[in-house]
Structure 1
């Protein structure tokens, strides 16, 4: 693109940034606390929190009353909750009368509610990276990793779509320009005809690798199949003759069978490249049965210069028999591959949606067609725009693009700056098409696209359409939703909004909601943050990681689809499993590599989120587990409690693999500190219960050790394990209310016994994700109403999602 493109758009973007500088301050005015009774504090609280005492880091005789300060507000909110729940004053102290407690809470509640109500409201919220990527790809029909081109989004607790955490910088604006340019490069047709669909049949025997490895590591059968006998590090399953020269969607059909095996053989279908540092994706896991040849087919996006890569799983030459006795004498199971067929690129439409969005009604004519050697080699043509009325054609295109980008009708005044930018470009001698591209790029760098513009108080129809769509499909509203917004049917009839929510939950794009919400809420996006110690956990592999992520996502999707009770979040009779997870969980089930719903044995530890390997991995560090870390995870994600950080000068308790007893002694000593006792009485019990699971989600009765201990007779990936049996696990505990449990299953039942709390937490998380703002004190009555409303129906998860959409919180700024 010409330099003028970047300079013009960047100048426009700087103007946008200037206009937005004031949008990130917390709204509302400072609110002074209407002085709670000092007499109440003096009589019941100052022994621990006044006159120089500051248990938990709180001094109530010196604390500020400026509720406009977030830290001050949070402290008073915590005081309210602990007095309301009977935790303050502590049980061994003098207790206030019912009237004293009621009067104190009433006064404090009124002040907190008023302050939060005046300051809350979704700040002008920017699209986060995922929303931006989805929207651009959906509007233009592209398939680009735009998120990686943008700076990482800020997070508020779990979520990365909360407006207060989403800033905007010059670097980000330049990234938006680059991203818009990349999208248009892919979307705008560079040829007059759609790309030719090529069909390639490939076989490992007819490759350079086959010449080297047949008869050594690979076996050639009479039917032409090539057999792999082990999960391959070298030689790999790269098939260089099944390669891609143009990025796009491809059908991949693999034909083969399980060789010398009574059981199916699982394998991965992926792609590899010679490019250094490039991602090597795995598209799917499939299995071949013994017997006649079978064909499995998948459809995947494959980038150019990639080759198909097949890798068997779960088979190994444990005794090196092939090296010792030759491949023809080997009797172990193998994966036989007869043929790989690659068909594509398959185009959804030609030209693309983005091309039509920009050029519909404009005469774009090819001027060259393979006339030069360079054109023949690149198969690209040159085009020019022929227009009798450039101003009219440009105005129509700009209006159409702006309407799609801004998610609502646009006025002449709103599109005028982009038309002016186009005319400036033309006046500087820029051709029609690059000048139009500059104007289009400016539209996609404008605040009306990058931000969800929402009016004060009740949202209008188009703001509601955008909020619903970005909530449930993570992208811009579709035509059906926009049509009802244009007609004013979303604000006028709540049932219309609910009807669209039901439709969008069934939309294929609804998988994005499940993925993005669970990635944030359960922290699944950090699954790669730690790498399990291969000496302690040699069974961990990429198939297990892919399976554990899919398990949790499919489980939550099933709860929505079946409208299952929220109790299933912690105690479910079913799980979403495949053969890899069944092996990992020691379940005697005959399953294939595809995830499917399975009824669990009675009292199985795998029912619910806390028994799922993904959750257990992201709440550990890859080597050991910490009851504190896992305890906080349970409190925040499932019970809606956010423990405050340790007081200044109080060190945390580090995980210790010397054994549960030693760690318990450390935590018992920690709880003897006055400022730590209350929080750790809540945090530690859930963490102790989860000690029955190791850092990769396997069940354990003993810790694993690399030092002393009994040897373990076990094979992992064809090799004996090196770890030893360590000290026994103690998963007993006492909850903060005095209730005790002897093991994880009993602890899980305690959680399941309070479905209202589980529902309240889930509703709060959904509302935060849907609205892009933190739920606060003045939202509590509405959230309680939603929970009460769903109680008689058993707190079905789909019902809770629907109640969120119908709520006043969702429909207001």
Structure 2
């Protein structure tokens, strides 16, 4: 970091070090608050444990990994607390003692549960508000870009955030190291470089218009793989990769926001032709982003238009989808005689970089109130040269006062609350120290601004234990629903103390933010964490087993689930739709996979599910089925855990030490059901697998890419399949039949996925409890614990009165005590 002098690093290191040490207060930040350790009431609990649990869990016995001999009393110890909490749940749910053992009376069981619950709730209540909450990478990126008007990929500059179970915004998992701090400083410098104007005049976007007949590749492919139509369009007949299907033209000259217009039509086709629009570069290993899938109708040329952030020296890339020369007619008869459908591209227009505002809001945030003028070069003729870089001079009428005002304004925006002069005194002193060392006014001001945006007051949310003040509520609501710093209407009502005093004002802002275009960030981040969609690319399906998997399907998977969750919220649909809905959000690619007719075009839209069809709800969506499988096989254990944790809201215990996992057999020699039957013979495994295996068995009806199956696919033994996919013969064989039956832990049986889904959907209270818990965790930045159970139960009861609408659940969360307290 050659730009930064030691004072900025020293200042911020000192401030963060105070926070990291713990046990100290720094302004509004509290960490490491100690309290008297809570202990379990042994005099009440021991008689119950001895009579009903000792045979299996005491005197050397540790069935299920629980040994009462080693169970401590100090609930301040996290591991001890977790064991007692697990024990409480087993007794409260009736799982302990086992049904074949002597059972306590209801009064005895209730007395045990109440005594243990009081100790657990007290301990958790004393600790849940003591953890600092840092902005995670997404929140940091959104905040910096929104404040400065930039569009930078800042997440890539920062280390991955820790996770607390599913979520990446839980305070206890978001640590800060001094190395990470230096990365924040470098990121802030990059934002300033992008936001501060480098010219006195607003840049004019350039327009490029390209026709593929005029590209260098045309000489090689026209008349062979490409057809030059009579109207000047170039027609492409394959959806293969370069050189016959990947169309590249109109390269950028600078990174930025661009407008892309593609003009064309469906050639020799009675149906629309779908195609991908993205970008590519000749750089090895570089990302090839996809901006969207579109379609052209037969007939006259049509134009589609989109905007996208494109890196420097990238080219627009277009690739048709779903058309094939299955029988090599082009090769055998020539391109002029081919009668199959094609994609005709008349021209591609690229406009940019686009400038929405000039100078940027970040430039104005820093320089308003100061005079910044371009210095005339010694040789005026150099101003017209492409290599000319303007130099600016910064001046102030009263530098000490004006700079202090600027830094106070910047700090107010950064800290998400009004600031006082004393709070920016260190930053003013840092600025002056740079001036004293000979730095220019602009360079010294930049250093102080970087320090502000690398300070604990910016990186951490200001939340004191107990009831939150209005500015903390404003930040919590903004980062919950738009994943960024609070906007001016929120801050205005926070200044009037309306957010803490009037629930209707808070609800009004929640409704407003749900309709804000930035709300899509909430949908993306929440579904990425809750449903683990972030791992959609973690595995690549085996092309031999699943040749129908392609980039268009992967692209559509994420959009289906995100649009589905958004539809549940905006239409306030009942929570049972999470597992059982009469509609799906589909396009032509998903409809093809799901075997639903009548869906044309790549746009995701709401489609009614045909009567008797298996689709509907999250459990049948390709995205969730893919992230809960590997690229070759499915595991009932993995999918069962996924359903229990993310949909049902019950977290199975981890396997005992030394117990090996069960791996699928890709040769098709045996099913996992057969392997798991042996695995469950172990006393240490039986109780958990009784919970997690049944939902996993139910989902065996779906393969790793979300397709329905009656039989497993195999690369070994099995029945040969006579079928072509994408013009090629399949290589997989059909193995054993799928058995999707099972029995839930409560004894209810199901014959297949449909019956399992119906059983799950019927328990709307359980679905609501799970979903509310996920929402509260994401909204507050902390895991819900034992002392939150009563509050969550009340929210479920209130939701039931309203019909368990998903939109209503968000409103209940926002006005809950858990949301408004730390």
| 1:212 corresponds to | 220
Q: Does 1:704 align with 2:713?
A: yes
| 1:527 corresponds to | 536
| 2:660 corresponds to | 651
| 2:27 corresponds to | none
| 1:198 corresponds to | 206
Residues in 1 aligned to 2:303 and 2:117: alpha-carbon distance in whole angstroms: 66
| 1:282 corresponds to | 290
Match of 2:766 among 724, 746, 757: 757
| 1:17 corresponds to | 16
Distance 1:402 1:237, change over 3 A: farther
| 2:604 corresponds to | 595
Residues in 1 aligned to 2:248 and 2:675: alpha-carbon distance in whole angstroms: 56
SS at 1:211 equivalent: helix
Residue 326 of structure 1, CA deviation: 1.2
Residues in 1 aligned to 2:248 and 2:734: alpha-carbon distance in whole angstroms: 45
CA shift digits 1:68-116 (9 cap, x unpaired): 1111111111111111111111100000112211111111111111111
| 2:396 corresponds to | 387
| 2:486 corresponds to | 477
Residues in 2 aligned to 1:339 and 1:96: alpha-carbon distance in whole angstroms: 79
| 1:226 corresponds to | 234
| 1:144 corresponds to | 152
CA contact (8 A) 2:667 2:717 kept: no
| 1:346 corresponds to | 354
| 1:173 corresponds to | 181
CA contact (8 A) 2:667 2:716 kept: no
Match of 2:191 among 178, 183, 195: 183
| 2:582 corresponds to | 573
CA contact (8 A) 1:191 1:379 kept: no
Q: Does 1:791 align with 2:800?
A: yes
Distance 1:670 1:2, change over 3 A: closer
CA contact (8 A) 1:46 1:61 kept: no
CA contact (8 A) 2:247 2:319 kept: no
Residue 324 of structure 1, CA deviation: 1.9
SS at 1:125 equivalent: coil
Residue 37 of structure 1, CA deviation: 2.8
Distance 1:211 1:768, change over 3 A: same
Match of 2:100 among 92, 96, 101: 92
Match of 1:427 among 420, 436, 453: 436
| 2:75 corresponds to | 67
| 1:559 corresponds to | 568
More moved, 256-265 vs 648-657: 648-657
Q: Does 1:335 align with 2:325?
A: no
CA contact (8 A) 1:28 1:120 kept: no
Report matched runs for 1:30-429 at 5 Å.
Answer: 30-35=37-42, 36-121=44-129, 123-235=131-243, 241-368=249-376, 371=380, 373=382, 376-429=385-438
Residues in 2 aligned to 1:7 and 1:278: alpha-carbon distance in whole angstroms: 35
Residue 375 of structure 1, CA deviation: 7.2
Match of 2:753 among 744, 752, 755: 744
CA contact (8 A) 1:661 1:730 kept: no
SS at 1:256 equivalent: strand
Residue 721 of structure 1, CA deviation: 1.5
Residue 479 of structure 1, CA deviation: 0.4
More moved, 190-199 vs 358-367: 190-199
CA shift digits 1:638-677 (9 cap, x unpaired): 1111111111222121222355964222211222211111
| 1:766 corresponds to | 775
Residue 509 of structure 1, CA deviation: 0.3
Q: Structure 1: where are the runs of 5+ without partners?
A: none
Residue 388 of structure 1, CA deviation: 2.7
SS at 1:286 equivalent: strand
SS at 2:385 equivalent: helix
Residues in 2 aligned to 1:590 and 1:59: alpha-carbon distance in whole angstroms: 57
Distance 1:541 1:749, change over 3 A: same
State the TM-score, normalizing by the size of structure 1.
0.98
CA contact (8 A) 2:33 2:130 kept: no
More moved, 267-276 vs 153-162: 267-276
Residues in 2 aligned to 1:443 and 1:191: alpha-carbon distance in whole angstroms: 26
More moved, 176-185 vs 321-330: 321-330
SS at 1:126 equivalent: coil
CA contact (8 A) 1:522 1:615 kept: yes
SS at 1:540 equivalent: coil
Q: Does 1:625 align with 2:634?
A: yes
SS at 2:545 equivalent: coil
CA contact (8 A) 1:705 1:725 kept: yes
CA contact (8 A) 1:636 1:642 kept: yes
CA contact (8 A) 1:50 1:61 kept: yes
Match of 1:438 among 447, 461, 482: 447
CA contact (8 A) 1:122 1:772 kept: no
Residue 240 of structure 1, CA deviation: 5.4
More moved, 256-265 vs 664-673: 664-673
Residue 239 of structure 1, CA deviation: 5.6
More moved, 81-90 vs 242-251: 242-251
Residues in 1 aligned to 2:441 and 2:685: alpha-carbon distance in whole angstroms: 68
Report matched runs for 1:543-554 at 5 Å.
Answer: 543-554=552-563
Residues in 1 aligned to 2:33 and 2:739: alpha-carbon distance in whole angstroms: 47
State the TM-score, normalizing by the size of structure 2.
0.97
CA contact (8 A) 1:402 1:410 kept: yes
| 1:687 corresponds to | 696
| 2:28 corresponds to | none
CA contact (8 A) 1:230 1:334 kept: yes
CA shift digits 1:152-206 (9 cap, x unpaired): 1000000010000000011111110110011000100001111112222110001
CA contact (8 A) 1:659 1:729 kept: no
SS at 2:162 equivalent: coil
Residue 442 of structure 1, CA deviation: 0.1
Residue 693 of structure 1, CA deviation: 0.5
Residue 363 of structure 1, CA deviation: 0.6
SS at 1:557 equivalent: helix
Residues in 2 aligned to 1:789 and 1:169: alpha-carbon distance in whole angstroms: 43
CA contact (8 A) 1:617 1:695 kept: yes
| 1:806 corresponds to | 815
CA contact (8 A) 1:237 1:309 kept: no
More moved, 541-550 vs 649-658: 649-658
SS at 1:343 equivalent: strand
Q: Structure 2: where are the runs of 5+ without partners?
A: 23-30
Residues in 2 aligned to 1:489 and 1:558: alpha-carbon distance in whole angstroms: 30
SS at 2:480 equivalent: helix
Residues in 2 aligned to 1:585 and 1:38: alpha-carbon distance in whole angstroms: 55
Residue 711 of structure 1, CA deviation: 2.3
Residue 143 of structure 1, CA deviation: 0.6
| 1:7 corresponds to | 6
SS at 1:33 equivalent: coil
CA shift digits 1:337-367 (9 cap, x unpaired): 0011112222111000110010011110001
| 2:674 corresponds to | 665
Residue 62 of structure 1, CA deviation: 3.5
SS at 1:378 equivalent: coil
CA shift digits 1:490-510 (9 cap, x unpaired): 111111111101100110000
CA shift digits 1:567-590 (9 cap, x unpaired): 000000010000000011111123
Q: Does 1:608 align with 2:617?
A: yes
CA contact (8 A) 1:570 1:608 kept: yes
Residues in 2 aligned to 1:238 and 1:343: alpha-carbon distance in whole angstroms: 21
Residue 717 of structure 1, CA deviation: 2.6
